Amino acid sequence: MEQRVATPPREEGARKRRADRPMRAFWKRIRKPLAESQFAKGLLVNLLVQAMWFIRLTNRQVADSVRFEGSRYEALEPGIIALWHGQHILMPAFYPSSRPLVAMVSRSADAEINAMMIEKFGIEAVRGSGGRDSARHLDKGGAKALIALKKALGAGKNVCMIADIPHGTPRDAGMGVVLLAKLSGRPIFPAALATSRRKVLEKSWDKTTINLPFGRAAIAAGEPIFVNADADDAEMERKRRELTVQLNAATEEAYRLVDEKP
């Protein structure tokens, strides 16, 4: 009988990085023309949105996938849904609540496509960057975005933020989500989405995950996190670490749910 020889981890990692190169090269070629053409951006957005709906429709949600209606999360809404970079791409199509949603999107040129996409799902986009290490060092754009998100929560809408800092330490929460919870008095819902069929871009800093059709899907959520209005720096740091732990736990749970044999 023929025996298979296991591929060494280093060779396997090199193989995956080589597989990622065509996609990165393609994006570098098209990003500048896209930035300069509203027609091209609109066409790409429509194609991506249709693909996301297709993936949504062809991934059956497992029985334990979180839905806000009738759950303890619904009783605590409006709240702040916190996600990790690279694991969030399909979430607009799976948003688990009927409550209106406002999402923070980066002010970078690349993120304009993201903003246009989520608006197609009926989600309002607020441009800014809320993931700074220190609540004292938000730039003007980030501060304005947090104010807009606080107003949205006050109006009864859920908001969504990416918790880790772009190109920083992946899956380690910044202070932006915690600061918004402190300012608004609303809870943080650490959440994650996973599909059983997926492509992981191994060389990307955040291990970006491309969800694929014809599989199973699950949303998992951690324990809601509240931040007192009078929280000092030490308490804010403790809450930041708690958010990191809860988000990682939710991510592990989402993948466990979809990777278990039905």
Dist CA 216 CA 160 (whole Å): 23
Dist CA 133 CA 85 (whole Å): 16
Confidence grade of residue 235 (pLDDT, cut at 50, 70, 90): very high
pLDDT at 61: 96
3-state DSSP assignment of residue 57: helix
Check the CA dihedral 183-124-218-129 and report its sign.
negative
pLDDT at 32: 61
3-state DSSP assignment of residue 129: coil
pLDDT score of 30 more than 70: no
Centre a 10 Å sphere on the Cβ of residue 96 and count the other Cβ atoms it contains.
22
- C-alpha closest to that of 44 among 57, 25, 19, 26: 26
Dist CA 153 CA 159 (whole Å): 7
Average pLDDT of the chain is 87
pLDDT at 22: 72
CB 58, CB 179: distance < 8 Å: no
The larger pLDDT score, comparing residue 70 to residue 91, is at 91
For the segment 175-226, what is each residue's pLDDT rounded down to a tens digit? 999 999 999 999 999 999 999 999 999 989 999 999 999 999 999 999 999 9
CB 150, CB 184: distance < 8 Å: yes
pLDDT score of 102 more than 70: yes
pLDDT at 4: 47
Number of H helices, E strands in the chain: 8, 9
For the segment 42-90, what is each residue's pLDDT rounded down to a tens digit? 888 999 999 999 999 999 999 999 999 889 999 999 999 999 999 999 9
Dist CA 135 CA 42 (whole Å): 35
Beta bridge partners of 161: 82
Dist CA 23 CA 239 (whole Å): 37
Averaged over 16-24, what is the pLDDT?
Answer: 62
